[in-house]
Structures are given as C-alpha cells and as structure tokens.
Structure 1
C-alpha cells in the first residue's frame, strides 16, 4: 500500500512542519493562491514536496517582515512548479529553518517551533510545545526540541547585534509555561515522603533547565519543592532544614556562580531525630559545576535523563528513564 507522502501530505502535517496553524495555511491558499497543485478527490488538499517548498519560502519572507501578498508573489516565482524528481517530504527529522541556526540534524518539530518563535506567534508555540510533550514525553521534548531551539535563538541573538532578544524572551516564557503545566501531576509517592528541593544557587538567574528537571520528576510522580532562580544561601539553608529533602538539586549555569562551599554545606546538613539523622544527596546540576571532583555527598549528573534516574533510585523507583 503506498504511503501518504506518495500523494502528498495533509494540511495539518504541513502546518506542524512549518510551525503555523492549519487555518493560516488554508488562508494563504484562498487569499494568495499558495496552494497545492493537486487535491485528493478534487476537494482535500494534499501538499507535494514542491508545494511545501513554496510554503517554506512564504514563511521565511513573512517572518522577515515582507507583507503576505508580496511574499506570496515572490514564493510562487521561486517555486513556480514542483520538480518531478523532488524526494518525499521527511517526516522524522528536518534541516534548519526560519533563519535560525538550528544545524543540519534536528527534529522536524524544532523547525516549526523556531518559525513560530521568530514570528512571535505565541498561540502556535503553545500548541507545538503541548503536542511535543504529549507525543515524546518530557525528556525527549526538552533535549531534542526545546533546548536546540533555545540554543539557536541564543546564537542568532549573539550574532545579530542584540536583535531577536524579544524572540528569546517569548520562547523562554512559553517553554517555562509548558514545563510548569507538565509538572502538575498526581504524586506516586505519599505526600509525607521527603521531597526533592530544587534551587538555583545565589546569583544564578537561569532556571529553565531546573524547571525541566522539576517537570521530569513530577512526570514520574516524585515530590518536589521548586524555589527557582537566585535563592539566597540563608533561604536555601532554611528550606533544606524545614523540608528534610531526600535530594537537593543546585543549578549553576556558569562557573562564576558555582558555589562549592554552599554545596558541601547542604550535603552535610542533617535532620531527623537523634540517632537516625539523615543528610540529602546534592545534585550539582548545570555546566557551572564542571572541572572539579564532586565532594562527598554530591553527584554531578551529565544531563536531565541521568538526573531523573539518580533521584528516582532514591525512592526505590527504576533509575532508567524510558526512551521515546
């Protein structure tokens, strides 16, 4: 039985690939003639690779500020007819798009998310992030979709003379929102169990990766207490003593914020009744901790998947995080 790509792909699939809504794709077809050359049964749109290339040019032009009508005329000139020997549209991974330096081997969802970010299209970003989490799970969505897009926006910002800052801020806000929604799950561990405390070290404002860890732990039903960015040392000490955590994740993005003495202090903090006092395992999370051997009572996970596994084993849960 031939695949769907042999006859073209649906409008919904095209929209996901480009990071626009299906309504936008249909509107471009009706208003500007940016539509498929062939329709299944004479009614349903089926987009060939050449049709999709024309839409990609339309997206690129509109994202750079060209009015839609003018962009449509230019797109039709660049891709007047689909070549007969164009290979089928890839449905797994796609190359770079949207003008952002994504690299040559990223998931298709990155391209759509990047296009939506450049257009400051909040509703589409929200939908794409929700679909990515539902389809791939937290870890894969974070490592293979959210992070590459964030890094691409950051590289674009660094190389464009302070442009695209608004893109980075909006994308970060939507990713943070998606992660917090993913973290709202029913715990599998009794509420009385020792939680995991998550905090950025003093002076550290980058908290998105820590939010991803909180969402990943919540996805497994583990109890967490998120304290967010730049937690003062005194507040962190009070939080640890009051909550009696099984583990404390300390995030440091840069070496300048990695406070090793604070990490050792937290790892040595005891709580509980005399004769049965315990201390938390401290996760040195983030690239700021690299370059030094972890002190006793601390571990330095290499990524989100490993960090979730380390914490899961403390609760007697399987340490391996399932692949997609």
Structure 2
C-alpha cells in the first residue's frame, strides 16, 4: 500500500514495461511524460496513473505512431485517470521548451533511429520496439503482421526491411546495436517457426523440399520464411539450417530424394557454385527411373552468373514459393497422366 501511495522507481517501471530505464528517462526528457509528482530529493516516483501513461506510450509507439503524437495521447490517459477528463490540461514534469526540443527534422519514416526510409507503419513500430529491446511488443507486432498481411507481405515489407535497417545501423555504428539485431532475429525466427508449425503438412510420400545454407553461411531467416510459406501451402520440407557441410548435403539429397533443393547464400564469398552443380547433377531413385532435384539458388550471393541447367535463381520469397508450387503441380499432373492415357 505504501508503494502505491509513494509510487515506484524508474527502474521498477522500466522492468514492468519491458524497456530500459534510459528509454523511460528519454521519453520524460524529450516528450514531457515524466511523473506528475516527484518524491523526496527530486527522485522520480511513478504513480499508477503515470505507469498507465507509459504503458499507452509503449503500445502506441510499438504500433507505429510517431513518439510525439503517442506522448500527447498518453498524457490524456493519465489526465483521465486522475479525474481531470481527457480534455484537462496536463502539466509536464519538465519545462515545455525542453519537451519540445526533440521535434527536429528526421529522416523519412524513421524507427528508433534506424535508417528505414519509406516503409509500412508496422515496420516503424517493429523497429522502435527492437531498439528499446521490447520483446513482448515485438512478439505482438509480428503475430499481428502475419495474421493481417500474410507471410509473404509480412516478410518482404515488415520483417526483412527492419532486419536490414538494424544491420546497416550495426555496420555504421562501431558494433553497437548487436543486441538489437540478435533479439529481433530471435523473435522473427520464433514467429516464422510458429507459422511453419501451424501450416505443417501431414506425413505423406510426396518428395520434400530441402532447405540449407551453403557451407560457411550462417543467415537462416530467409530460409525459415520460405519453410513457413511452403508449410502454409501444405508442401513437405526438410530444414537443415546454417552452414551445412557439402558431404552432409549430398547425403541428405541421396537419402530423401527431394523434389527441390534450396541453397541459400547471403554473400558472394559463400556462394559455392561447384556444390550447386553437384547437387543439380545428383540422380537418385530406382534403376531405370532415376531423377534429380531442381536446385533453387536463393539469396544475393548467387547474383552475377547465369544459372546452370537444372537450376533457377528466384528473385525473392514470392517467386521461390511460385517456382516450388508449380513444380509440385507438375508432379501431380504427371502422377495422374497414366490413368487418363489408358483410354
């Protein structure tokens, strides 16, 4: 009861919101949403109404609302709880001049200081949640994006642009933002795997699609997005993940007899054209009816060379899904042909 009257500290409110204390202080300094009353010695003590205001700030910024606009709405929440009504004036905890200071020109559609450019509102919200390490908000936003827009749009227009922006920020800031990239990647991976499990195809004798990163390649998220898209279409997959050794990939192809093999390469330094040619030329199956898998060269590492026979180079997730879906449609047509051809 005593804490309810006095309020809680900045550290405690930050833990409750899942953000850093620095973020809370920044919001107070930049947007004037500090505690209405300070404790002894001018230490910040946050009342239930103050906490509700910050919760609304988190919710709005995570959904893509610009911080200054979100702060105005959040202050109204506190005013309403304190009995002043939505239209009551709210006195900020810092001078008005200081509160107005952050309203400086910024790059188009920025998200938490990341170089996003012109992107969807959901992308900006995801970026802001990532920068403040707000895991629960990222989880909520990713789930909503997949439900509202579908896998392909969510990946191409929300997840991937945010990942690229974090990567660019990391490269240009002397190894800062590494923790942001790791946490964002983990949450995106979790969301994609949940989507893949939801759409997992039942067990069937249909040849699977093998997905693997070439040796020395660690970037798996694009393959996870493809695996989720194939599962959504009830197509069987086998995901082998990062840096698959050439011998292991060869063994997997011979043992599983796949319809297609997707090889991901993020950079030209990891693209292994000799391995791709080997996989495309690997025949399997019973004697007299041997076949080979179609090889999809996925990722920017394969750019600059014309694909060899038995290979295709899709431009992105949507095209890769189309290539594989058509491949399975053709196989289904071949399976039905003998029945009609006997008349």
TM-score, normalised with respect to structure 1: 0.72
Cα gap change, 1:312 to 1:189, in 2 (>3 Å): farther
Deviation at 1:202, TM superposition (A): 0.6
Cα gap change, 1:256 to 1:124, in 2 (>3 Å): same
What SS is found at the alignment partner of 2:143?
A: helix
1:187 and 1:223 in contact (8 A); partners too: yes
Match of 1:100 in 2: 114
Matches within 5 A, 1:269-308: 269-308=282-321
Match of 1:78 in 2: 99
What SS is found at the alignment partner of 2:197?
A: coil
Matches within 5 A, 1:220-239: 220-239=233-252
Return 5+ residue gaps in structure 1 as ranges.
Answer: 1-18, 36-47, 59-70, 81-93, 318-324
Matches within 5 A, 1:62-77: 73=94
Greater radius of gyration (CA)? 2
2:199 and 2:233 in contact (8 A); partners too: no
Task: Identify the structure with the greater helix proportion.
Answer: 2
Deviation at 1:31, TM superposition (A): 1.0
What SS is found at the alignment partner of 1:245?
A: coil
Deviation at 1:124, TM superposition (A): 1.1
Return 5+ residue gaps in structure 2 as ranges.
Answer: 1-17, 20-32, 34-45, 55-64, 76-91, 102-107, 331-343
Deviation at 1:51, TM superposition (A): 6.7
Match of 1:130 in 2: 143
Deviation at 1:101, TM superposition (A): 1.1
Deviation at 1:144, TM superposition (A): 0.3
- 1:30 and 2:49 matched: yes
Cα gap change, 1:245 to 1:72, in 2 (>3 Å): farther
Whole-angstrom CA distance in 1 between matches of 2:93 and 2:291:
66
Deviation at 1:54, TM superposition (A): 3.2
Cα gap change, 1:170 to 1:188, in 2 (>3 Å): closer
TM-score, normalised with respect to structure 2: 0.68
1:55 and 1:75 in contact (8 A); partners too: no
What SS is found at the alignment partner of 2:262?
A: strand
What SS is found at the alignment partner of 2:291?
A: coil
2:170 and 2:176 in contact (8 A); partners too: yes
Please report the RMSD computed on the Cα atoms of aligned residues, expressed in angstroms.
3.2
